[in-house]
Structure 1
């Protein structure tokens, strides 16, 4: 086999000096130099383009003159170039310049005969390239087949995912249109209901006004009649004795016959009433669609709190001994957390406060302080409302927000929209809204929060109750 140096020299001799590549279809000119057929043609056409009358040309390499008729195909050089290409396909050892005709199974690399005798390959299993290339080719083909299968699977999965994206966008658009349509229908319905109730109210107004105006007109006529009789009697009293006595009995009879009929008594109570929230919005049903089951976490309970067996009721009593010391336990205030943590979505739970005289309830961040100095406000991670003897119902904002409730709630609902940032409270006895905290951004998990007062146990009903 030819060495790398010989191969390099042969490539240099077979390289076209115009394109600097191995000659393709080489042609020779009269001086003996050869070039690619296409390179020579382009070279001559460029010269003729500038000087169409030119008949004699010069060799690009030695500048010897030649004519186009002297061009001859160099078949022997063409055959030699094919041999050079075949030799080029056989790689040479970078270290020794010999052909890499051996394969080292241990190292997994091509080596030459001199590499085989070197210390780094001594004792290794080496084989001729022509003996193993077919086997590795089959393995590569199998690998290609597997990769093509994977590629096909990948393409199919990508097409499926693309289809899913399309379907998802279509579903979202359909749902968006449905929501818009539903709310539009509700708006139209409410608008028509509004017009109907306003019409009924107007009808009631006109009917009652007509009756009142009739009474007003009747009383006006009667007043005029009475005034006429008064004038008649006053004239008789002011006249002579003869005029006074003339037909006096008839005059008196007609005067005593005048009667005042009391108009029909009309109630001014409005009968056209419409409680929109009760008629069209079932607040309780809406809230309870997000209801979750909440139980109490004994590991967070203050040492004065007593839990029921099912962990749904908590009462404040005497201090308990032998409780596990835990950083999770409230130590300063009689508080306790729910076991459930909320990190996204909408959640709702109810607290039966009964006739209790005091309580705190709401949600708080999971990592709020438990010891002395605890401050129950949103800036410290608390979103809660309170009932106490001193201030009544308040929201634990900073400063406190007084809550004016018409009815005392026996059951309080707590609604959390984690993603939007709202915490709302409802009087579930009446289904009315109590208070909503300003929009917030919750940095961590939220948990149900309770503070228990003396003689005011709290009970957490399950969603099924």
Structure 2
């Protein structure tokens, strides 16, 4: 029971942290908007003060200026004071929110399952050292260079493969079995990702046209635009499945530990500019520890572990 409660607490705290980061971004945007509005109001006040010296109606202008100043004072964050009652209210709200989130794991899983999408990997995109299954639902690294036809879609340096179709609109969720592997990358990419040569942007998440989570010897990182975000809250944990959720309306790319719906990282990308392809990299052999394939599983049937 203690282990289950500890895991639930970890999930809850992680979700709250992600929500906090999103809220902070929104608040920062609002602060910038308010600052611009304040500057505009200050300019208007200055113009009113100047006009008072030249035109009649000084009493009316003074009243307007006082109303504007009063409004600014009410919206000044520095003038907001917390007392014991407000602190107790916030604490109670936080505790109730934690309990609610913990109880929603099965519901959350069902919600994501409703967006489950079929993923079929394109063998013509796979690096020559990768073997894509005939069904297109798994990819395996091999030390042997395969005799495959050369084409513009094939990755020739990075160990990547992408899906055949992809999508432009809606919400989509898919899961990959990573159990027993010590190195992998998976995520989403635009078709425009570079596929030839040793350019760094060929790697998932290193350019502006792809997003991924990378796992290597117990360490997780989320990548986009070449920036690595270390996922300290799950370092050392081994997940059997990784879920990837994307929302075109919300501009989101989210990664989760699928068994417990543990949030790994969420990218808020804004508006997608092209079709999105599912992308996987099973990684090299990693000194003989990473021969298992990456397998795409039926996300509509998987169940959470509580």
**Fold conserved (TM > 0.5)?**
yes
Between the aligned partners of 1:450 and 1:291, the Cα distance in structure 2 is 17
Does the alignment pair 1:414 with 2:269?
no
1:294–1:462 contact (8 Å) kept in structure 2? no
Cα deviation, 1:35-72, whole Å, max 9, x if unaligned, reads xxxxxxxxxxxxxxxxxxxxxxxxxxxxxxxxxxxxxx
Does the alignment pair 1:360 with 2:191?
no
Between the aligned partners of 2:206 and 2:273, the Cα distance in structure 1 is 12
Structure 1 length as normaliser, TM-score? 0.40
Query: Which residues of structure 1 form unaligned runs of 5+?
Result: 1-194, 202-271
Shift of the alpha carbon at 1:378? 6.5
Between the aligned partners of 1:395 and 1:288, the Cα distance in structure 2 is 23
Does the alignment pair 1:328 with 2:153?
yes
Matches within 5 A, 1:23-62: none
Between the aligned partners of 2:138 and 2:172, the Cα distance in structure 1 is 20
- 2:108 counterpart residue number: 283
Matches within 5 A, 1:265-414: 275-281=99-105, 282-372=107-197, 373-375=199-201, 376-377=204-205, 379-389=207-217, 392-397=219-224, 398-404=226-232, 405=234, 407-414=237-244
Between the aligned partners of 2:200 and 2:215, the Cα distance in structure 1 is 18
Cα RMSD of the aligned pairs, angstroms, is 2.7
Structure ranking higher in helix proportion: 1
Question: Which is higher, the Rg of structure 1 or of structure 2?
Answer: 1
Point out 4+ residue stretches in structure 1 off by more than 4 angstroms: none
Question: Matched residue of 1:277: which SS?
Answer: helix
Does the alignment pair 1:457 with 2:287?
no
Give the paired residue count.
198
Change (3 A) 1:285 1:402: same
Question: Matched residue of 1:413: which SS?
Answer: strand
Cα deviation, 1:49-108, whole Å, max 9, x if unaligned, reads xxxxxxxxxxxxxxxxxxxxxxxxxxxxxxxxxxxxxxxxxxxxxxxxxxxxxxxxxxxx
Residue 433 of structure 1 is aligned with which of 263, 274, 284? 263
- 1:171 counterpart residue number: none
- Report which structure shows greater RCO (CA 8 Å, sep ≥6): 2
Shift of the alpha carbon at 1:335? 0.5
Shift of the alpha carbon at 1:420? 2.1
Between the aligned partners of 1:412 and 1:359, the Cα distance in structure 2 is 11
Cα deviation, 1:206-232, whole Å, max 9, x if unaligned, reads xxxxxxxxxxxxxxxxxxxxxxxxxxx
Question: Matched residue of 1:460: which SS?
Answer: strand
Change (3 A) 1:383 1:371: same
Matches within 5 A, 1:29-428: 275-281=99-105, 282-372=107-197, 373-375=199-201, 376-377=204-205, 379-389=207-217, 392-397=219-224, 398-404=226-232, 405=234, 407-428=237-258
2:244–2:256 contact (8 Å) kept in structure 1? yes
